[in-house]
Amino acid sequence: MKLPTLNDNPFMKPMEWVSLLLLAGLILVVLPVALDSFRLNLVGKYLTYAFVALGLVICWGYCGILSLGQGVFFGLGGYCMAMYLKLEASSVENTRIQSTPGIPDFMDWNQVTALPWFWKPFHSLPLTLIAVVAVPTLFAFVIGAAMFKRRVGGTYFAIITQAIAAILTILIVGQQGYTGGINGITDLRTLNGWDIRTDAAKTILYFVNGGLLIACILVAQAVKRSKLGRILVAMRDKEDRVRFSGYAVASFKIFAFCLAAAFAAVGGAMFTLQVGFMSPSFVGIVPSIEMVIYTAVGGRLSLFGAVYGTLLVNWAKTSFSESFPELWLFGLGALFIAVVLAFPNGLAGIWRQHVEPRLSRKPKSPALPAVLPHGAPAE
């Protein structure tokens, strides 16, 4: 009997390495060469949503947990970064005309006379970088522990995450003096003294964004190929059987949900840096559902498909919004219906079923004439 080896379950198959190189080449070489600074920054904004789609591949595709509130974690990561940038832009020198210099302008407008305690840690860039990942992940852990320990899942969990997104949006809008309200946190200028508003800075941030996305793909791939990934798939298909085998199903679900939240938070922080603001419009129900559609179009079982799906849907959104702004939501709904009915595995499913077999098919070698023994009569 042949014993299993490490090569039986490689980190990435040859075709997956090719897919990664093609995606990296597209993001880091082709698009920067082909697009001007404005369009490149627009693609950079699209790529920040791809972090959320990657998390949904792990959470929804491989673990079977459909979250309709991923905008919550995207927004929390973005707000953490925006708080640091806003404090740096609100120095005493820059705000000397305010009633209370040294605090953000929206606080001064709302008669807040001192910086709130939960804003003070964001004077430090290292603490901010930690908070970008830690705060959304901790929030996801609390939600996951409260739900999964009580075996809440399926449609009920999806509805609850929607409700959380709606509640957080209302909370952010209502606490205008501490969050900026409906306008969000704007007028962000520098990152540790570096002006992020110039075209050169936005181009550098684009490459940082692309590099982080590739790193998150590798992390997700490591989870997918590990024993943990196989347990997640088993839970999705036969949860009771996994539970009866002695595994703590709730703990695995919490891990997948927290990992998806961490990915989304990194995307939110990069969105704030690239776009220059963060508002509650990216936290609510509608953006969270759009993020699910990105994953569904690309393929909820494909890490690379999720990125391509995000780019495709957002490119279509921009194109339609420029020409037919009132029709985009109808087009988005029709796209989601088409995905469910026509190609449920998304673009990745079409690739695997119709394109990949043709690429891997070996050409038939021409038949060679039979070699007859010397002196044998030919038939």
d(CA 268, CA 288): 12
d(CA 184, CA 259): 26
In order along its 379 residues, the chain shows pLDDT tens digits of 343 444 455 777 888 888 899 999 999 999 999 999 999 999 999 999 999 999 999 999 999 999 999 999 999 999 999 999 999 998 888 888 888 888 998 998 888 889 999 999 999 999 999 999 999 999 999 999 999 999 888 889 999 999 999 999 999 999 999 999 999 999 899 998 899 999 999 999 999 999 999 999 999 999 999 999 999 999 988 888 999 988 899 999 999 999 999 999 999 999 999 998 999 988 988 889 889 989 988 888 889 999 999 999 998 888 877 777 777 777 777 777 777 777 777 777 676 776 666 666 655 555 555 454 555 444 4
Using CA atoms, how far residue 34 sits from 24, 26, 39, 40, 335, in Å, is: 15, 10, 9, 9, 28
- For residue 361, the model assigns a pLDDT of 64
- Structure-block tokens of residue 260: 């998806």
d(CA 332, CA 290): 8
Would you list the DSSP string of 197-263? SSHHHHHHHHHHHHHHHHHHHHHHHHHHHSHHHHHHHHHHH-HHHHHHTT--HHHHHHHHHHHHHHH
Would you list the DSSP string of 95-142? TTTSSSTTS-HHHHHTT--S--GGGGGGGSHHHHHHHHHHHHHHHHHH
- For residue 321, the model assigns a pLDDT of 72
- For residue 24, the model assigns a pLDDT of 94
- For residue 341, the model assigns a pLDDT of 75
- For residue 132, the model assigns a pLDDT of 96
- Asked if residue 82 lies in contact with residue 153, where contact means CB atoms within 8 angstroms, the answer is no
- For residue 207, the model assigns a pLDDT of 96
Angle (CA) 159-165-170 rounded to 5° is 125
- For residue 2, the model assigns a pLDDT of 42
Phi, psi (deg, nearest 5) at residue 74: -60, -45
d(CA 85, CA 188): 6
Q: Which of 125, 75, 85 is nearest to 267 (CA)?
A: 75
- For residue 356, the model assigns a pLDDT of 65
